[in-house]
Structures are given as structure tokens and as C-alpha cells.
């Protein structure tokens, strides 16, 4: 190898190290809500679950890339991961690049407008997450097959700045909204976040969490504390400011807003009020652009859900029948994190009117209030 080859390898190594270190530092603060650790082994472990070279290459080639035809939105634990797998495996759609090495996020979730890319949310750079436009041309012209692209970010539903930004780049997409009974969603998400926190500690990221002004009283120790935090006046004030972020031209989210105002565990109350979140999307996209999918129906009859999606997209519906159930991806068990019945009853009473507003908004009753599994609506 000549000196030019050595120089090229050195440059590539330097780029990998620089981008990787910057992304790892940023991720500690925004994704894990912690101060970056000073221990090199912790940063090295974090670097191993990110894709610095992929990020760099896609930043350079962003203008040459496609944009999504379909968005799969819906809060965490509402079936977005399962539906994304079905879109890829059964309908042959292409998913986004994710900066994380994670089997359930790969080709499913870009995390772009959640601020994972150094909090940059500039619409013009959103293309970096998707396949090259030549791929679309090759499928349509050479293979004579449709080539559709989707992004399956759960956080897009309640992130109030997202609809306005997506409207700028994709004015007429299909928007699939995944819905789950809100109390069971809260339980499941709390359990998953506790597992994620344990994983972060296992990588050596420690317990030095961000404090004010980036985070207020964070993290909550129990689900009840998390619910109370999400309703606290100072956290609500942050959400109110966040509601206006999508109106102007802003390339970078403030640190307190990414990925959710005051951090993930401050979002429970916002997540459960689906009608409010959908209303913000309807302010930017026509009602005809939406398709609503309940987790219960996705689990019970995935082929019926896929047929509805295929018909909306003008795709062939032959061959979608299958005896296999929908893959239950990203599942979590109850374990010892099940909240007390009193809290569940309180949440059921709180969300009942919000659910009724949702049913009226989407034009159908999802049956949550009469379902035997959701006993908290009958106490």
C-alpha cells in the first residue's frame, strides 16, 4: 500500500473517530439524559452501537436520496415496530437508516426529527435517512416494480414540531397512526424504559443525569412520579413552547426539547391524549391522508390491516393471506414493574373522555371501554 492508501485509511479512521465521538457525546445527553462519562471504556461501548461512517456517508449524499411515501406514527409500544416489519416483509417497502445498531430499529425508525442527529431537524437533511433515488428509478424502470419508502418513528405523533416540518418535504404522504389503549401503553412503556435504563448503566454511562435547565426533576423513580412529572406546570410550559417550534425555520432543537421536552419520561400525559396529537397533524395534512390502526386489530388480523394499507397505496393485494400471526416485536413482560391498581383506576377515569374524543375524531369506537382486559374503565 502506497502513501496515498495509508493517508486515505488515516483520514477514514480520523473521520470515524471524530464523528463517532461527537455522536456518542451527544447521545449521552439527548438519548440517555446523562452527562457524558469521562471513562473511555464507556464511550467506546457507546461507539460500538452507533454508525459514524454511515452517518458521514449519508450526510454527504443527502441531496441524492429519496423521501418517504408513508409515515408510521403512534406512541411507543403501540405496534409501530410490528407494523414496520410487516411493511418490509409483506409489502416489500424500504425502511430508513438508523444511527443505532439495534435489530428492532434497523430499517424502521430514522429518529431524525426526534433530534438524534445532534438535535438537527433541518428538513433539507432529512433525506440522509433514506435510499438513493437511483434505487427508486431502478425498481420502477428496470425491474418494473413499485418502490415505496417509509419511516416508522413512534415519537413523531406527540412531537408537536414534526407535522409542520414533514409537510415541507412530503406534502401528500400516507400517514398510518398506530393506536393502543393508553393505560396499557403507559405500563408497557414504563417497563421498557426501565430496561433501557439498566442497559445504559451496563455500558458504564452511570447515574449522573442531566439537571435544570436541560431536565427538571429527572428521572422519575416510579410510574406515578412519571405521570405527575408529565402534568407538572413547568413541564407543561415546556410542551407549550415546543408546540410553536415547527412554525418557524429552526435547524436545531433546544436541548431541553430533544427527544421530548424534559426527556422521554416526561411525556406520559401527552402520549395518552391521542385526539390532541392527531389534531395537531390534521392542522397540516388533509383527513384523507390518514389511516388509523389499533394494536388490537393488528395483533388479531394483520392480513386485514395490510390489505387496507395496500389498497390505499395502489399495491396488489394478492398473496397477502398468511396463517402466521403478526410478529410480536419489541415485547415487554410485566415483571415487578406493574403499577398498583389505584393508579390504573385513576388513569382509566382520566383517559375515558380523551378516548371518547378520539373515537369521535376517527369515526369509530375502538372498544377499549368495554374490553375485559382494560378493567380500569369499569371501576
For residue 242, pLDDT over 70 is answered with: yes
Task: Answer for the pair 223, 343: CB distance below 8 angstroms, yes or no.
Answer: yes
The pLDDT of 202-228, averaged and rounded, is 92
Tell me the domain boundaries of the chain. 3-377
Name the CATH superfamily for 3-377. P-loop containing nucleotide triphosphate hydrolases (3.40.50.300)
Torsion-angle region of 216 (φ positive above 0: left; ψ -120 to 50: alpha; else: beta): beta
- At residue 26, does pLDDT exceed 70? yes
What pTM, to 2 d.p., does this model score? 0.92
Helix (H) or strand (E) holding 251: none
Cell numbers representing residue 283 in the block: 392542522
Q: Omega into 259 within 30° of 0, i.e. cis?
A: yes
* pLDDT digit string, tens, across residues 45-104: 887 888 988 999 999 999 999 999 999 999 999 999 999 999 999 999 999 999 998 888
Cell numbers for 222: 416510579
Q: What pLDDT, on a 0 to 100 scale, did the predictor assign at position 81?
A: 94
Mean pLDDT of the 12-25 span: 74
365: pLDDT confidence band, cut at 50, 70 and 90? Answer: very high
Q: pLDDT for 101-152, tens place per residue?
A: 888 888 999 999 999 999 999 999 999 999 999 999 999 999 999 999 999 9
pLDDT tens column, 328-353: 555 555 444 678 999 999 999 999 99
Amino acid at each position: 500500500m502506497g502513501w496515498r492508501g495509508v493517508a486515505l485509511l488515516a483520514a477514514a479512521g480520523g473521520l470515524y473517530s471524530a464523528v463517532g465521538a461527537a455522536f456518542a457525546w451527544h447521545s449521552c445527553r439527548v438519548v440517555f439524559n446523562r452527562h457524558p462519562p469521562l471513562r473511555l471504556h464507556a464511550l467506546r461501548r457507546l461507539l460500538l452501537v452507533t454508525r459514524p461512517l454511515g452517518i458521514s456517508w449519508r450526510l454527504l449524499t443527502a441531496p441524492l436520496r429519496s423521501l418517504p411515501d408513508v409515515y408510521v406514527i403512534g406512541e411507543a409500544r403501540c405496534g409501530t415496530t410490528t407494523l414496520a416489519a410487516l411493511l418490509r416483509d409483506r409489502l416489500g417497502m424500504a425502511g430508513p437508516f438508523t444511527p443505532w445498531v439495534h435489530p428492532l430499529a434497523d430499517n424502521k425508525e430514522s429518529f431524525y426529527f426526534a433530534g438524534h442527529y445532534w438535535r438537527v431537524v433541518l428538513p433539507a437533511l432529512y433525506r440522509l435517512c433514506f435510499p438513493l433515488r437511483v434505487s427508486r428509478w431502478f425498481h420502477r424502470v428496470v425491474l418494473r416494480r413499485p418502490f415505496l419508502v417509509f419511516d416508522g418513528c413512534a415519537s413523531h405523533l406527540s412531537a408537536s414540531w414534526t407535522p409542520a416540518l414533514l409537510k415541507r418535504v412530503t406534502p401528500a404522504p400516507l400517514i398510518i397512526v398506530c393506536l393502543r389503549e393508553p393505560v396499557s401503553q403507559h405500563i408497557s412503556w414504563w417497563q421498557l424504559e426501565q430496561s433501557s435504563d439498566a442497559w445504559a448503566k451496563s455500558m458504564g454511562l452511570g447515574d449522573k443525569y442531566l439537571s435544570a435547565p436541560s431536565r427538571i426533576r429527572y428521572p422519575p423513580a416510579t410510574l406515578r412520579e412519571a405521570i405527575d412529572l408529565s402534568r407538572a406546570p413547568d413541564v407543561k410550559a415546556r410542551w407549550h413552547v415546543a408546540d410553536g417550534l415547527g412554525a418557524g425555520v429552526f435547524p436545531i432543537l433546544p436541548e431541553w426539547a430533544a427527544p421530548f421536552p424534559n426527556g422521554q419520561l416526561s411525556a406520559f400525559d401527552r402520549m395518552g391524549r391521542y385526539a390532541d396529537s392527531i389534531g395537531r397533524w390534521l392542522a397540516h395534512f388533509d383527513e384523507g391522508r390518514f389511516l388509523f390502526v389499533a394494536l388490537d386489530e393488528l395483533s388479531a388480523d394483520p392480513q386485514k390491516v395490510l390489505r387496507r394499507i395496500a389498497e390505499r397505496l395502489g399495491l396488489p393485494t394478492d398473496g397477502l393471506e398468511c396463517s402466521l400471526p403478526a410478529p410480536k416485536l419489541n415485547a415487554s413482560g410485566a415483571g415487578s414493574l406493574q403499577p398498583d391498581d389505584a393508579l390504573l383506576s385513576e388513569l382509566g377515569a382520566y383517559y375515558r373522555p380523551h378516548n371518547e374524543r378520539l373515537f369521535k375524531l376517527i369515526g369509530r369506537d375502538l372498544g377499549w371501554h368495554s374490553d375485559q382486559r382494560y378493567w380500569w374503565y369499569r371501576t
